[in-house]
Chain A
Amino acid sequence: MIHFRTRLLMASAGVALSAVLFPALVHADRAYDPPPRPPVQTEAYCLGCHGEPGLSLTLPSGEVLPLTLSEDVLRASVHSPLGIECRACHTQITTYPHPTVDYATRRELARSLYLVCDKCHSDNYDKTLDSMHARAAAAGNLEAPICTDCHGAHDVHPPDQPRAHISEICGRCHTEIYASYAESVHGSALLQDDNPDVPVCTDCHGVHDIGDPRTAQFRVATPELCAGCHSDPELMGRYGLSADVYSLYSLSWHGVDVSVYRANWPTIWHESAVCTDCHGIHDIRRTDDPQSRVNPVNLLSTCQQCHPDAGPYWTGAWTGHNRVSLERTPFVYYTQAFYSQLTPVVLALSAIYVVLQIVRASVERIRKALR
């Protein structure tokens, strides 16, 4: 029989030794403390094995599923510091040995495991069900993104730090669009200057309920989408841009037409120009950039997309979202000046003349009657 104190000493030494040799086990020990936070504290316990390098599994597809996870990665994610640990998401694993993995491919596994996001993030999860991505998946495209494709699985971070990260995430799949966006006035300001004012992908397309931007509804709603920023005088003032572009567009031929369609027939496709038809979509550039579609050197060919017969003088018809002024639009200016005088003058003089005639004729009749 070993003396009790000796046993205690050996145990203590063992714990100390373990702490040096198997830090994971010590962390696992902490799991037996009364939990300071309600969520299940399994992280340290799981890392006891999954922190070991080289752990992996070969799926029936032949793909290798790595099972090793860096503790640093896990700790840096948003979930771990909040006490949301392994079992919160890996709900099917409750014990060791684990149940067998019966997914044929890594994608199949990911598409099954991400469903658990719904547990806590049901609002955003529900939104994704209406999204373009969900529709692509329903149509059989299993590569259509799921939560973890954009947000990560074990390494979930706030997506907007920095803000450019949002667009970079989209750019992983939408590479061509991302490349042209990166060159655009919006994209370059975002990627080079981390400009907080320019739109990232999700500002226009929505976040979780990303709709189809090719529909008639999206098209007729485009001017208001752009107007969200471009009719804000303070925001536009910072860049020396006019905040009247939307209100003046709304009065134009194109704008009136589009607003009518939006109000009455949003689902009927209509060709009247919206912002993006002339300025471009992802490749919008400053209007003084020679590569801009609305730069004077390119304007005619942009108009000719819809008005193929337009000749060289045609672009002069474009008042360019400017208020009527003598310098820019002299013909409209003088026409407006003329009619702003003529209309009330004709109205007033005709009315006065007719009233005078009625008075005079009435007096004349009364005189004759009295005679």
Chain B
Amino acid sequence: MRSSPAAVQTERTFPRFSLGQRWEHALIIVTFAALLLTGLPQKYRQTSWSHFILATPERVELVRTIHHTAAVVFLLEALYHVGRGLVLMSRRRLSSAIFPTGQDVRDAGRMIRYLLFLSPRPPSYGKYSFEQKFTYWFLFFGFGILIASGLMLWFPTVFTRFMPGGLIPAAKLAHSSEAIVSAVFVVLWHFYHVHLERLNLSIFTGRLNERDMRRHHALEFERLTGEPASDETPGDGE
């Protein structure tokens, strides 16, 4: 395809996630996976595969210790995430683009119309599409429930000094239900959007290429470059 050596194209990329944010995501992946892997055999304690994994009382202790250790890391990460976000946003050093707006509702309506063939084009998004915001906030509250209920299960006597005891069995139910909901959501929704729809590695590399910026974050692209996003690049049609 190259017409001449002089026409070598350098791909423009755009910063999307800071190094700290990428580390946070990596930490969440590792701890969430560890929590799931050590939590599921405890939730489904009466199944044969759970008996296989938790084959000795020592193994049960080990799995619980891993779960608790991962939970502490997860909790610290969550506190750091919220604290950092609040501090940076208050100093206007972090965009508040992640917060949902009325535009997201309209975008969702337009997207559904597009998916139902009622509209020829999907909506254009800013830094975060409504899908991405939904992923973030769904897991944000899910993780919040998991952390709160998990702490209650870990220290039930402490919590029932000032809270009704009836919350403990509710926390047990919420912890295991929310874990399943979060896991299903991550696999179905999040994995589809970042692996199948398109391979989006920006959370690991920190940057997004021009094509994906134009296609999936057109408004952000226009805001950053001042160029119109709809200007079809030569390689775009594949």
Contacts and interface: CB of A to CB of B under 8 A. Distances in A.
Which residue among A265, A329, A335, A356 has the maximum number of chain B CB atoms within 10 Å of its CB?
A335
Interface stretch (B72-80, B155-163, B223-231): B155-163
Contacts of B189: 350, 353-354
Interface string B190-229: 0010001100000000000000000000000000000000
Contacts of A368: 237-238
B188 interface: yes
A330 B164 CA distance: 11
A260 B169 contact: no
Contacts of B112: 356
B160 A310 contact: yes
A264 B188 contact: no
A351 B184 CA distance: 10
B165 to A, nearest CB: 3
A268 B57 contact: yes
A335 B169 CA distance: 10
Interface stretch (A65-73, A131-139, A197-205, A313-321): A313-321
A207 interface: no
A253 B164 CA distance: 19
Nearest to B236: A368
A343 B181 CA distance: 6
A265 B57 contact: yes
Given A313-B164, A357-B115, A264 B51 contact: yes
A290 interface: no
Q: How large is the interface on A (under 10, 10 to 19, 20 to 34, 35 or more residues)?
A: 35 or more
B105 interface: no
Given A354-B189, A360-B115, A260 B45 contact: yes
Interface in B166-190: 166-170, 172-174, 177-178, 180-181, 184-185, 188-189
Q: How large is the interface on B (under 10, 10 to 19, 20 to 34, 35 or more residues)?
A: 35 or more
Contacts of B170: 329, 331-332, 334-335
B161 A339 contact: no
A311 interface: yes
A317 B169 contact: yes
A18 to B, nearest CB: 78
Contacts of A314: 156-157, 160, 165
Contact of A339 (B158, B173, B184, B192): B173
Contacts of A342: 177, 181
A346 B237 contact: no
Given A316-B165, A317-B169, A339-B178, A347 B184 contact: yes
Contacts of B238: 368
B174 A339 contact: yes
A259 interface: yes
Contact of B169 (A263, A311, A319, A360): A319
Interface string B13-42: 000000000000000000000000000000
A257 B51 CA distance: 12
Contact of B160 (A317, A335, A354): A317
A112 interface: no
Contacts of B116: 356
Interface string A190-214: 0000000000000000000000000
Nearest to B115: A356
Nearest to A251: B46
B188 A347 contact: yes
A197 B1 CA distance: 92
A161 B189 CA distance: 71
Interface string B115-133: 1110000000000000000
Main secondary structure of the interface of A (DSSP, over half): helix
A256 interface: yes
B165 A318 contact: yes
A361 interface: yes
B154 interface: no
B192 A360 contact: no
Given A311-B161, A350-B184, A335 B173 contact: yes
B114 A360 contact: yes
A307 interface: yes
Contacts of B115: 353, 356-357, 359-360
A230 B219 CA distance: 68
A339 B188 contact: no
Contacts of B180: 343
Given A330-B166, A357-B197, A260 B184 contact: no
B214 to A, nearest CB: 16
Question: A-B pairs with the 7 shortest C-beta distances?
Answer: A316-B165, A317-B165, A331-B170, A317-B168, A339-B177, A309-B157, A356-B115
Given A316-B166, A339-B178, A351-B188, 6 more contacts: A265-B57, A307-B157, A315-B165, A334-B170, A343-B177, A347-B184
24 contacts: A260-B51, A268-B57, A310-B157, A311-B161, A313-B164, A315-B165, A316-B160, A317-B166, A319-B169, A330-B166, A331-B164, A332-B169, A332-B173, A334-B170, A335-B177, A336-B173, A342-B181, A346-B181, A346-B185, A350-B185, A353-B115, A354-B189, A356-B115, A360-B115
Interface of B: 45-46, 51, 54-57, 112, 114-117, 156-158, 160-170, 172-174, 177-178, 180-181, 184-185, 188-189, 192, 196-197, 237-238
